[in-house]
Amino acid sequence: MANTVQDLRRTLKRGDLMSIAVGQIIGSGVMVMSIVALGMTGRSVNIAFVIAAILTCFGALPTIYLGSTIRLLGGIYSQAAIFVGERFAGYYSVVQIFSSMSQAMFATGLASYLGSLVPVVRDNQLIFGILFYIAFVILNLMGTDKMAKAQQFMFYLLVIALIMFTAFGLPKVHWAGYFGNELFDAPLFSNGISGLLEAASYLTFATGGATVVVSFSSECVNPTKDIPIVVIVSTVAVAVLYAFMATCIGGILPAPQVMEAGNLSVIALEIMPAPCYYFFIICGACFALGTTLNSSIGSAIKPLFAAAADGWFPVVFTKLNKNKVPYAWILTFAAVNIVALVSGMNISMLGKLVLFIGNVNSFILVLGAMKLPKLFPEAWAKSPFHVSDAVLKGSLCCTLAVLAMQAYMNCKGQPTWVLIANACMFIFAWFYSGAMLKSGKVHVTANYELA
């Protein structure tokens, strides 16, 4: 018999969600993607992070509004089905399988940082990247409660390490010339305003991870109260920390030197004594990427599990192991990401490929979210984040404008093959969802509970 989202254990509290959200945000952003953004905009990478955080807050509005009103048992899949339509829900599910390739980026970054301490890892990054990915796959197969406990352990040490990096780094920043155009013989905006906006759009992937907690709605004790608060607090707190860290990234060493290293270890080595440096690499860099990889695997499977229960995928994807985990989805992600690792995909390309997919899907989901007052008038009226219809539509229109700008910036300058790959994914997912609906095998259920 097929399992459904009702069979998942409701064990996650606000503290668990906070560690998942912060762990998801802090990871590839400041540890890996910040280096790519440094190449896009130079020292102004800290300004890019601030802009990215503002854009992220607009992007999180639908999650805050919806998450405070109803429990979306199937996460974003349920949101897609309820507020947009059945075919879009199927399309979204298929596209999410391709989007999971971003997990390979975290495993690659983890191996890169540990390689700065351990030569054998540095010389065999591909092999260790695969091994790290498999380790987190096993952890997630052990159950959401075990995954959350490991997340919290890494989370506390991670925060200490990042604050330590900032505390050591800020006094070493070349403040006198930072906001001028002469420090390191480089301008503040290395590629002008266009480069700044491109970097900010790219870094929304780094600041926008908090909304993944909606995928754990079916396993939360009190999702309508906890999810909105967690999204807001985690996003703002990490954005402040990121701004200070990014100042250290751009203002201590010349950008080319940092970009050549490919990670923050070269800065950490410059500003920290040896014991602190080792702590930062292991508990800061490695745990940052580890928490993101851990929560990415856990959050990605929930919407797809709900989709499989509705018939979009073979029944094997509805099976749970003894720990109440949809093991077939985790193993599928493992296969997809190991292929991505072996292919040697460029981190910047991989990040932008996933970002554009997310921008398009989010745009459609935001349009659907405007139906909230019509579909759930009583529950919405009771929401602590309730606003008038005019404010709701106005704020969501701002979100749409932000998403449109991000999509444009993420497409800008991309190789033709990346755009073709995106188009092929969209087309395949749309026709697949249409074919499955016509087959009669799909029966979309209203997977939600009122607050």
Q: What are phi and psi of 71, to 5 degrees?
A: -90, 110
Largest CA distance in the chain: 68
The dihedral formed by the CA atoms of 402, 405, 408 and 412, expressed in degrees to the nearest 10: -120
Higher pLDDT, 430 or 29: 430
E-state strands within 274-360: none
* Cα angle, residue 363 at apex, residues 346 and 38 outer, rounded to 5°: 35
Q: Is the pLDDT confidence value at 142 over 80? A: yes
What are 247-267's pLDDT values in tens digits? 999 999 998 998 888 778 889
Q: Is the pLDDT confidence value at 354 over 70? A: no
CA-CA-CA-CA torsion sign (49, 13, 103, 443): negative
* Joined tokens for residue 416: 């033709």
pLDDT above 90: percentage of residues in the chain: 27
Please name the residue that has the structure tokens 């540890």.
Answer: 31
- Asked if 109 and 28 count as a contact pair (C-beta separation under 8 A), the reply is yes
Judging by beta carbons within 10 Å of its beta carbon (0-12, 13-18, 19+), is residue 185 exposed, middle or buried? exposed
Q: What is the mean pLDDT of residues 358-374?
A: 89
* Joined tokens for residue 2: 């097929």
Collapsed DSSP state (helix, strand, coil) of residue 370: coil
Q: Say which amino acid occupies 16.
A: D
CA-CA-CA-CA torsion sign (111, 116, 120, 126): positive
Give the C-alpha separation, 65 to 228, whole Å.
8
* Joined tokens for residue 120: 């054998």
Give the C-alpha separation, 246 to 42, whole Å.
11
pLDDT above 70: percentage of residues in the chain: 93
* Cα angle, residue 77 at apex, residues 364 and 301 outer, rounded to 5°: 130
Question: For residue 237, what pLDDT is reported?
Answer: 85
Q: What is the mean pLDDT of residues 179-185?
A: 87
- Asked if 438 and 211 count as a contact pair (C-beta separation under 8 A), the reply is no
Q: What is the mean pLDDT of residues 428-451?
A: 86
Question: For residue 135, what pLDDT is reported?
Answer: 92
- Asked if 51 and 200 count as a contact pair (C-beta separation under 8 A), the reply is yes
| Nearest alpha carbon to residue 161 among 249, 244, 275, 281 | 281
First to last CA, the chain: 29
Q: Is the pLDDT confidence value at 194 over 80? A: yes
b (16+ CB within 10 A) / e for 291-328: bbbbbbbbbbbbbbbbbbbbbbbeeebbbbeeeebbbb
pLDDT band at 74 (very low <50, low <70, confident <90, very high): confident
Give the C-alpha separation, 335 to 297, whole Å.
13
Range with lowest mean pLDDT among 212-216, 226-230, 289-293: 212-216
* Cα angle, residue 106 at apex, residues 77 and 9 outer, rounded to 5°: 40
Question: For residue 372, what pLDDT is reported?
Answer: 93
Q: Is the pLDDT confidence value at 178 over 70? A: yes
Question: For residue 211, what pLDDT is reported?
Answer: 78
Q: What is the mean pLDDT of residues 413-417?
A: 73
Question: For residue 110, what pLDDT is reported?
Answer: 84
CA-CA-CA-CA torsion sign (179, 180, 183, 186): positive
pLDDT band at 224 (very low <50, low <70, confident <90, very high): confident
- Asked if 28 and 205 count as a contact pair (C-beta separation under 8 A), the reply is yes
CA-only gyration radius of the chain, Å: 21
Question: For residue 438, what pLDDT is reported?
Answer: 93
Q: What is the mean pLDDT of residues 315-339?
A: 88
Q: What is the mean pLDDT of the chain?
A: 84
- Asked if 63 and 362 count as a contact pair (C-beta separation under 8 A), the reply is no
Residue 56: how many CA atoms within 13 Å on its side-chain side?
29
| Nearest alpha carbon to residue 290 among 127, 215, 298, 277 | 298
What own/partner pairs with CB < 8 Å and gap ≥ 24 does 382-389 have?
382/69, 382/451, 383/65, 383/68, 383/69, 383/224, 383/451, 384/68, 384/225, 384/228, 385/64, 385/65, 385/68, 385/228
Give the C-alpha separation, 90 to 93, whole Å.
5
| Nearest alpha carbon to residue 298 among 63, 4, 53, 16 | 16
Q: Is the pLDDT confidence value at 25 over 90? A: no
Question: For residue 451, what pLDDT is reported?
Answer: 61
